[in-house]
Structure 1
Amino acid sequence: MNEISTIPGNAPQNADAAELPQNVEAEQQLLGAILASNDVLDRVDDLVKPEHFYDPVHADIFALAAKRITDGLQTDATTLKNFMADHDGLKALGGAEYLLRLQLSAIATSAARDYAQLIHDLAIRRALIDLGKTIADNASAMREHSAPDDQIVEAEAQLFQLAATGSAARGFQSFLRALTDAVDIANAAYNRGGGLAGISTGLVDLDKNLGGLHDSDLLILAGRPSMGKTSLATNIAFNVAKAYKRGAKPDGSEGVIAGGAVGFFSLEMSAAQLAQRVLSEAAEVPSELIRKGDLNEQEFQRYLRAAQELESCPLFIDDTPALPISQVAARARRLKRSKTGLDLLIVDYLQLLRGSGRNENRVNEISEITQGLKAIAKELNIPVIALSQLSRQVEQREDKRPQLSDLRESGSIEQDADVVMFVYRGEYYREREKPGEENLEAMAKWQQDMENLHGKAEVIIGKQRHGPVGTVELSFDGRFTRFGNLVKPWQQDSQGF
C-alpha cells in the first residue's frame, strides 16, 4: 500500500492554523474509500459536507465526487483527474497521481463511517474555536448598534445551530424499525395510564381529543377577551407542573415520567398576578377576594397552605413585556439546559411579541413570530402553546362561536400551527342579552338558557394536524378562574350526584 504524506501548507491560512484540531490522514482515507467504492458516500453523507474538511483541496475533491455520484456517474481517480486538471491546489500535491494514491491507499470501507465521524467532530471543534474568537472580538469592539444582550442571543443561536449539525438523517427505515417505534409509543401511552402519548393537560376530555400535548407541536389557543384563554392556559400550566415527577422510564433511563417543567411567558400580566390566579385555583379562594384582601381566617390559611405546597412546583414565569421572538427562543433554551429542564412552553399572547424589526408589515411580523414559535417547539422538542387574540368580526355574527377565519393575521397562524383551539363561553354572551322584565316569555327563555349555560365552556378544536376536529365541553368556575372536567348527566347518576 502506498503511503500518503500529510500535506503541509495546504490548511486554511491563518496564524493559528497549526493549533486547530485536524486530521488530514483521516480525510485522505475517507476520500480514498469513496473513490474506491462509491457506495461509501451513502453511508457518510449525513455526517460530512465539503466544509467539514480541514484541507481545502480535500473539500473540493469531496464536493466534486459527491456531485458526480449523486448524478449516478462512476467516480474514481481516473474520471476525476480531467475535471481537476487546472486545480492549483491539487497540482501542488501531484495532480492526478495524488488522486490515484488516495484511491489505492484506502483502508477497508467498513471503517469509513468512523473516519467521517472524526472529520465531523474535528470540524465542530474548529467552528467552536472560531465562534469563541468571534464572541471575544465582538465583546471587545464597543459598537453602538451591538448591545451585549443582543450578542448573547446571537451567540446562543449559533451554538445551538452547531449542536444541531451532523445529526444522522433517518432516510428510509425498515418496517421492523417502524413497528418498534409504534410499539414504544403505545407502551408510553399505556404506562401513562390515561391512554396518552403526550403530556396530560389535566382535562380528561381535552386529552382524549388531543392525545395529550405532543413534543414539537405548536398549539394556538385563541379567544375573544373575557373568554378565559389566559385562565385555561394557566390551568394547564398548573396541572402539568403539579403532576411533575421524575423516575425510571420504560427504556431504563432517568427522566420525567409524569407532568413536566413549564415555562410561561406572560407578556400581559405580571408574574405576581399570574401566581395569584394559580393560587386562587389551588386554594379555592375567589380571586376578587384575594385582590381586595377580604378573606376570612379559614380562607387565608387555605391560601397559605396552597402557597407552601406549590413552592417546589416547576413553573417558571417570565413577565418581560414586548419580548422579541429571538429573546423568547434564547430564554427557552437556557431553561431547557437548566437542571429542571423544560417540557412545556406557554406564551400569553403572541400578538404582544415582537419580530426582528426587519418587517414593517404586521402580517409578515406575525408570520415571523409563529414560525419562530414552531422552530422553538421543534428545536427543543417540546409542545408550545401560544395564546392569540381574535378579530372583532366574531361579535358581528349571531353565532359567536369562533372559527379559523377569525384569527388575526390568520394565514400565518393557521398555517404554522399543528393545533388551533378556540375558547368559547356562551354564558358570557347570553348574559348580555337579558330582556326587559316586562317581556315574561323572553325572560323565561333567557333564564332557561342561562341555567343550561351556567358553569360551562367549550374548547373548539378548529384544526388538528394529527387528529379530529370537534368541540370539547369543560366546566368553568369564574370565582377561581378555573376550567375543569365537566360531569355529564349519565356520570352524575353513576357517581350518586
Structure 2
Amino acid sequence: MNDAVRKLAPLPKDQADQHYREAPNNLEAEQALLGAILVNNDAFYRVSDFLKPVHLHEPLHRKIFEVAGEIIRMGKTANPVTVKTFLKADDKVGDLTVAQYLARLAAEAVSIINAEDYGRAIYDLALRRSLITIGEDMVNIAYDAPLDMPPQSQIEDAERRLFELAETGRYDGGFQSFNDAVALAIDMAGQAFERDGHLSGISTGIHSLDGKMGGLQRSDLIILAGRPGMGKTSLATNIAYNIAASYEPEVQPDGSFKAKNGGVVGFYSLEMSSEQLATRIISEQTEVSSSKIRRGDISEADFEKLVACSQMMQKVPLYIDQTGGISIAQLAARARRLKRQRGLDVLVVDYVQLMTGSKKSGENRVQEITEITTGLKALGKELNVPIVALSQLSRAVESREDKRPQLSDLRESGSIEQDADVVLFVFREEYYVKNMEPRDELDPKYEEWKMQMERVKGTADVIIAKQRHGPTGTVKLAFQSEFTRFSDLADPSFTQYEH
C-alpha cells in the first residue's frame, strides 16, 4: 500500500472517536435545570448569582434561561405559557414546537433541591469549554508566531484571559445588559449604606478627603501629583496604610473573601526601597521621627514603641513591590497574580514617570506615558480596583508667582489628564513660605513673614482638580513633616472649600 492510500485509510473506531471530540456539555443537566425553574421560580435564585445565559451550551436553552430570568426579576411568574410568548413560535426542537418543548421540560422537572447542583455542573462545563478555546488560541498563536506578538506578550495575554476566566467565569467581555448594570449600581449603594462612614468607595482614612470623594471608587484611576517636597509619597503611604490597617474580610457564599471595610493593598515603590517605605510608615504610626530611626537616635521608650508597632504591622495586608523601571505589562501580570493569591482592593504606583512602556513607543516619551496611563486605566477596570498613581509636575510651577498646581502642570499631561478619573494635587504653602525667610530678624518684613508662616505652618492643601463623580475643590489637611503624616485638621471649619 503506497503512502497516499495509507494516509486516507479509515481509522479504527476508538481512534476516530479521539479525533472528533465534542466540546464538553450536558444537555440533560440544562434541561433539568430549566424544567426546575419553570416549575418553581425560586430555583432561579439558587443559581442566578453564578450562572449566566452564556454558560449554557444550547442556544435555545440560553434564550429560555435569559427570558425566564428577566420575567422572574420583574416579580412575575415564569412558566411554559409566559416564556413561550418571548420565543419564536415557528422554531422546532426535533419534532416538537417550542411550546411543546417548554411543556416537556416542566413535566420532567427535577426537584428544586438539585437545581444548584445542576447549575454548578453547567457552569463547570462552560469553564472547560472556555479553557479549550484559550488553549487552542495559545497553540495556534505559538505555531504561527506573528511578528507583533513575541512569546512574552503571548504569555501576558494568556495570563490576562485566564485571570478573567477565573474571576468572572468568562473572558470575552462583550455587552452587558442594562438590567445587570442597574443591579450592580443598586448593590454598590447597598454596600455603601452598610459600610462604615456610608461611603460608596474605600475609605482613605482621612475623613475630610472622603467627604469630597466618597472614598476611592473601584476601577478609577486616581492621579496624585505634586512637586518634589510636597509630600505626595507621604500621602500615598498614609492612605495605603490606613486602608490596609482597617481591613475587615467578609466570607462570600462561594468561600472566597471580600473586604467589608478597608482592603488588601498592593504598593509599587519604584523610587524607594521597601525598607525606606516601612520606615516612613513606622514613623507615621509611632510619632518617632524617621531621621531619628535611621540614625538610631532613639530612647528605650521609643524603641519599645517601634517593636510594638512592627508586631502590629506584620498582620497588615500591605504588599510592596520595589522593582525599579517596571513596565506596564509586568505590573499588570504581578497585580493579577496578587489578586489571585492574596486578594487585592487598592493598587498604588509611585510613580508614573519611573515606569517604562513597550519598545514600540521608542524614544517618544509622551507616547510612552500615554501607553502607561491607558494601561493603568484598563488594569483598574479589569481588576475592579482603584489605582492611585503618583505623578510629577513640570517645573513651570516654580516660575509662577502663584505656586498652586493646575492640570496643565502635569508632565506629558495630555494623556494623564485625559485617562484619570480623579486628579489630586498636594500643595504645601509652608514649603515655599519657609524658603522666603528674611535673613535679618530686624528686617521690617520679618514680622510679616512670621505671621504668614504661623498661618500656613503644619497645613497642606489637597486640590481636587478633576473628579468625574463629584465636585472639584480643595481639602485642607494637617501635615506633620517630622512624621510625614497627613491627618484631618482639629478645627473642621477649615477643612474644605469648593470651586
Give the TM-score normalised by structure 1. 0.72
Structure 1 residue 376: Cα displacement: 1.0
Residue 449 of structure 2 corresponds to residue 443 of structure 1:
no
Partner amino acid, structure 2, of 1:399: D
Query: Distance in 1 between the 2:314 and 2:125 partners?
Result: 48
Which of 424, 431, 436 is matched with 1:421 structurally? 424
2:461 counterpart SS class: strand
Contact 1:223 1:402 in 2 (8 A): yes
Query: Distance in 2 between the 1:107 and 1:153 partners?
Result: 44
1:150-195 Cα distance to aligned partner (Å, 9 max, x none): 6643431242365643567433439xx94x6665444322322312
Structure 1 residue 409: Cα displacement: 1.2
Residue 437 of structure 2 corresponds to residue 434 of structure 1:
yes
Higher mean C-alpha displacement, 189-198 vs 390-399: 189-198
Residue 132 of structure 2 corresponds to residue 126 of structure 1:
yes
Alignment partner, residue 70 of structure 1? none
Partner amino acid, structure 2, of 1:173: N
Partner amino acid, structure 2, of 1:243: S
Partner amino acid, structure 2, of 1:18: Y
Contact 1:20 1:126 in 2 (8 A): no
1:380-411 Cα distance to aligned partner (Å, 9 max, x none): 10110000000000001111010100001111
Alignment partner, residue 239 of structure 2? 236
1:406-443 Cα distance to aligned partner (Å, 9 max, x none): 00111100111100000000000111111231663211
Partner amino acid, structure 2, of 1:426: E
Query: Distance in 1 between the 2:154 and 2:218 partners?
Result: 29
Contact 1:263 1:344 in 2 (8 A): yes
Contact 2:92 2:98 in 1 (8 A): no
1:270-297 Cα distance to aligned partner (Å, 9 max, x none): 0111111111111111000011111111
Residue 343 of structure 2 corresponds to residue 341 of structure 1:
yes
Alignment partner, residue 163 of structure 2? 160
Alignment partner, residue 467 of structure 2? 464
Which of 369, 380, 383 is matched with 2:383 structurally? 380
Contact 2:156 2:333 in 1 (8 A): yes
Alignment partner, residue 97 of structure 1? none
Query: Distance in 1 between the 2:370 and 2:301 partners?
Result: 49
Corresponding residue pairs, total: 410
Which of 290, 313, 325 is matched with 2:316 structurally? 313
Which structure 2 residues correspond to residues 337-416 of structure 1 after superposition, within 5 A? 337-338=340-341, 340-360=342-362, 361-416=364-419
Query: Distance in 1 between the 2:276 and 2:222 partners?
Result: 24
Structure 1 residue 21: Cα displacement: 2.2
Structure 1 residue 488: Cα displacement: 1.3
Distance 1:489 1:426, change over 3 A: same
Structure 1 residue 103: Cα displacement: 8.8
Partner amino acid, structure 2, of 1:405: S
Partner amino acid, structure 1, of 2:209: L
Alignment partner, residue 273 of structure 1? 276
Give the TM-score normalised by structure 2. 0.72
Query: Distance in 2 between the 1:415 and 1:313 partners?
Result: 34
Query: Distance in 2 between the 1:457 and 1:249 partners?
Result: 40
Residue 293 of structure 2 corresponds to residue 287 of structure 1:
no
Query: Distance in 2 between the 1:446 and 1:417 partners?
Result: 38
Mind listing any 5+ residue stretches in structure 1 that lack a counterpart? 1-8, 30-44, 55-75, 79-99, 493-497
Distance 1:476 1:16, change over 3 A: farther
Distance 1:391 1:103, change over 3 A: farther
Query: Distance in 1 between the 2:223 and 2:398 partners?
Result: 20
1:285-337 Cα distance to aligned partner (Å, 9 max, x none): 10000111111111111111100011110000000111110011000000110
Alignment partner, residue 82 of structure 1? none
Query: Distance in 2 between the 1:125 and 1:247 partners?
Result: 30
Distance 1:313 1:489, change over 3 A: closer
Distance 1:251 1:423, change over 3 A: farther
1:479 counterpart SS class: helix
1:174-221 Cα distance to aligned partner (Å, 9 max, x none): 9xx94x666544432232231211111000000000000111111000
1:396 counterpart SS class: coil
Residue 302 of structure 2 corresponds to residue 296 of structure 1:
no
Query: Distance in 2 between the 1:252 and 1:189 partners?
Result: 22
Residue 208 of structure 2 corresponds to residue 224 of structure 1:
no
Contact 2:161 2:171 in 1 (8 A): no
Residue 212 of structure 2 corresponds to residue 173 of structure 1:
no
Partner amino acid, structure 1, of 2:347: L
